[in-house]
């Protein structure tokens, strides 16, 4: 983990410093929703295209199942783009979100996802879409049937099929992106390793992504990017913290890693002296997933 006393040493290795990006590094805007009295965080999440843990992290003091009428809910619909080349499909596991750079690097389409549970994690790395299928048949693996002997050999297309209506297969055997018949699992670690989308999202995604599209699965809990003259940071739970956030709305504070600190300094570039370290520490402690301003530069007329 990073020690703030090592800041000067890191500056030496970062010279020469970079300048702020000319283009914005975000998509969407934060939404505020007033509860009707019949809402849950799950229902609000699906309405606005976000995942459950995203909603839990952004609203840690709200009972996720019993929300009083008139309660103001923050919907995390603004996202700093992952700090990686903007091409193909980028799956960021800690925020449980997918970015599809299909229409150009400055206009990604983004969807919340469900990912592999503990012990059956979605792998990190680079692959591609090798084939697609509508109305797939689900065939549980031998491991699944050993764990649950009641599982059938196969499940045909229909409402009981865990794959939903569409699937896009990775170059990695047994992994892919598909729909689901259990949409409450989106934004949670619940799958056997595959990536799940809401039923309404998988159909859109399926038709926009061609076979051969590059896929990169990354583990980036902290993202940083310029939006105009403001540098934003977005801190999500680390993979090991997801279940804590889902259950309690808060996590143990593990601090920043060296790589995360380097990312902040690199993105700040020549404006590193403007960094608000108090806000950075607060964001890391809370892990709300909401973009916060950690530096701002004056714009000369």
Beta pairing class for 214-218 and 88-92: parallel
23 vs 289: which has the higher pLDDT: 289
17 compared with 75, residue with greater pLDDT: 75
> Is the omega angle on the peptide bond into residue 16 within 30 degrees of 0, that is, cis?
yes
Handedness of CA 42, 241, 24, 273 (dihedral sign): positive
My answer on whether 120 and 145 are in the same domain is: yes
What pLDDT score does 181 carry?
A: 94
pTM > 0.85: yes or no: yes
Nearest alpha carbon to residue 131 among 233, 227, 213, 76: 213
DSSP assignment of 51-120: -HHHHHHH-TTS-SS---TT-EEEE---EEPPSS---EEEEETTTTEEEEESS-TTS-EEEE-BEEPTTS
What pLDDT score was predicted for residue 274? 95
**Is pLDDT at 300 greater than 80 in this prediction?**
no
Q: What's the pLDDT band for 104 if we cut at 50, 70, 90? A: confident
Whether 176 and 242 map to the same domain: the answer is no
Q: Where in the chain does DSSP place strands (E)? A: 26-27, 31-34, 72-75, 79-80, 88-92, 97-101, 109-112, 115-116, 125-134, 166-170, 176-178, 189-191, 195-196, 214-218, 222-227, 230-235, 292-296
Write the pLDDT tens digit of every residue in 229-274: 999 999 999 999 999 999 999 998 788 999 999 999 999 999 999 9
Domain stops at, among 166, 184, 218: 218
- Shared domain for 114 and 53, answered yes or no, is no
pLDDT of the residue at 22: 36
The Cα 291–Cα 231 span in angstroms is 10
> In Å, what is the CA distance from 49 to each residue of 31, 77, 133?
11, 8, 24
Let me know whether 196 and 265 are in one domain: no
Q: Which among 79, 166, 178, 236 is annotated as catalytic? A: 178
User: Do residue 202 and residue 258 come from a single domain?
Assistant: no
**Given this model, what pLDDT does residue 11 score?**
39
Angle between helices 258-268 and 7-14 (to 10 degrees): 60
Please indicate, yes or no, whether residues 55 and 151 belong to a single structural domain of this protein. Answer: no
Residues 299 and 231 in one domain: yes
Active-site residue, 79 included: no
**Does residue 241 come out as left (phi exceeding 0), alpha (psi in the -120 to 50 range) or beta?**
alpha
Structural domain tally of the chain? 3
Q: Which CATH number characterizes residue 34's domain?
A: 3.10.350.10
**pLDDT tens digit sequence for 187-209:** 999 998 999 999 999 999 999 99
What is the separation of C-alpha 58 from the centre of its chain, rounded to a whole number of angstroms? 13
Q: Say yes or no to pLDDT of 159 above 60.
A: yes
Paired with 218 in beta bridges are 92
Cα-Cα-Cα-Cα dihedral sign, residues 81, 89, 127, 117:
positive
Q: Is the pLDDT of residue 4 over 70?
A: no
pLDDT at 9: 36
Note whether 113 and 136 are same-domain residues: yes
Containing structural domain, residue 52? 30-77
Mark which of 218, 234, 258 sits at the end of a domain.
218
pLDDT higher than 90, residue 128? yes
Q: Are residues 115 and 168 in the same domain?
A: yes
Q: Which of 157, 185, 218 is the last residue of a domain?
A: 218
Residue 6: pLDDT over 70: no
Which residue in the list 79, 166, 194, 236 is annotated as catalytic? 194
Question: According to the model, what pLDDT value does residue 217 have?
Answer: 98
pLDDT grade for 298, boundaries at 50, 70 and 90: confident
Q: 134-146: per-residue pLDDT in tens?
A: 999 988 888 888 8
């Amino acid at each position: 983990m990073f020690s703030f006393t090592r800041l000067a040493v890191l500056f030496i290795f970062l010279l020469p410093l970079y300048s702020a990006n000319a283009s914005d590094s975000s998509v969407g805007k934060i939404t505020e929703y007033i509860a009707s009295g019949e809402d849950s965080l799950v229902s609000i999440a699906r309405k606005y295209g976000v995942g459950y843990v995203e909603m839990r992290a952004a609203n840690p003091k709200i009972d996720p199942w019993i929300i009083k009428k008139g309660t103001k809910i923050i919907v995390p619909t603004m996202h700093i783009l992952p700090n990686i080349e903007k091409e193909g499909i980028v799956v960021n596991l800690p925020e449980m979100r997918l970015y599809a750079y299909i229409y150009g690097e400055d206009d990604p389409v983004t969807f919340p996802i469900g990912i592999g549970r503990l012990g059956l994690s979605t792998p990190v790395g680079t692959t591609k879409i090798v084939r697609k299928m509508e109305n797939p048949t689900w065939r549980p693996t031998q491991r699944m049937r050993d764990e649950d002997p009641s599982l059938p050999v196969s499940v045909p297309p229909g409402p009981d099929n865990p794959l939903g209506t569409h699937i896009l297969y990775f170059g990695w055997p047994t992994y892919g992106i598909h729909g689901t018949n259990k949409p409450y699992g989106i934004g949670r670690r619940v799958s056997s390793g595959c990536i799940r989308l809401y039923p309404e999202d998988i159909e859109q995604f399926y038709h926009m992504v061609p076979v051969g599209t590059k896929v990169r699965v990354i583990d980036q809990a902290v993202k940083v990017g310029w939006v105009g003259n403001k540098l934003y940071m977005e801190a999500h739970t680390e993979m090991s913290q997801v279940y804590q956030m889902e259950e309690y709305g808060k996590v143990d504070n593990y601090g920043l890693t060296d790589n995360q600190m380097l990312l902040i300094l690199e993105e700040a570039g020549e404006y590193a002296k403007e960094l608000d370290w108090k806000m950075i520490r607060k964001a890391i402690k809370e892990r709300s997933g909401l973009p916060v301003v950690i530096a701002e530069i004056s714009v000369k007329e």
